[in-house]
Copies of this chain bind each other. A is one copy, B any other.
Amino acid sequence: MSHSESGTGVRQAQKQQSRRALLDAGLRLLEQQNLSGLGVREVTRAAGMSPAGFYRHFPDLSALGVVLVEESLANLHGMIRAALAEQGGQGDPEALIDRAVEVVAAHVREHRAYVRFLARERHGGVREVREAIAAELRRFADEVAEALALQPVSEGWPAGEVRMLAELYVDLLVMTATAFLEVGPQGEAELARTARTRLRLISVGRRHWREG
């Protein structure tokens, strides 16, 4: 058909489908288990595939884990980026905090398995996955730092301190996300409230920082 670009169609599509089945099965199994305790056969069985088939897609279970990491944060990344852009530099910080907590809550509701996976493997036993998560969170902090620098409150703050602040916010948001996992639907509202208070506490501290 075409004389350039991809060329193949059905072939790659089928492969991607199998790959997706493996990723989905893995993610599902990892809701109740650690990556270092997961088995190749276990995943292929759950994906309806022969054990050997796994190696056509990933060399390792670690490799599958790394892909899951990227997928995990791609979503959240997008949502946060949208939230930050929406408020821009001139939005009032209080509203931004509310929006951020809201976004995190929604994200957990929609991608529960991914969030649990991240929380579980962030300090888990597989180095490559740990490092992948750390790298993504670093990029996440970059983005938050960028947004913070635009706020009027950051006038005159050195980049290093803004960056530190951003990391603090990211850590708090990640903690909030994992806390959402462990709370029932009826506890969500209160958790969101305390999360907002935590963030506001930082916000207030920041405004009065110079005076000690």
Contacts and interface: CB of A to CB of B under 8 A. Distances in A.
B205 A168 contact: no
A119 B175 CA distance: 13
A164 B194 CA distance: 7
A206 interface: yes
User: Size class of A's contact patch?
Assistant: 35 or more
Contacts of A123: 116, 119-120, 122-123, 178
Copies of this chain, count: 2
Interface string A27-47: 000001111110000000000
29 contacts: A34-B35, A34-B37, A34-B124, A34-B125, A36-B36, A36-B37, A37-B37, A37-B125, A120-B124, A120-B125, A122-B123, A123-B123, A123-B178, A134-B182, A164-B197, A164-B198, A165-B201, A175-B175, A201-B202, A201-B206, A201-B209, A202-B202, A203-B205, A204-B204, A204-B205, A204-B208, A204-B212, A205-B205, A205-B206
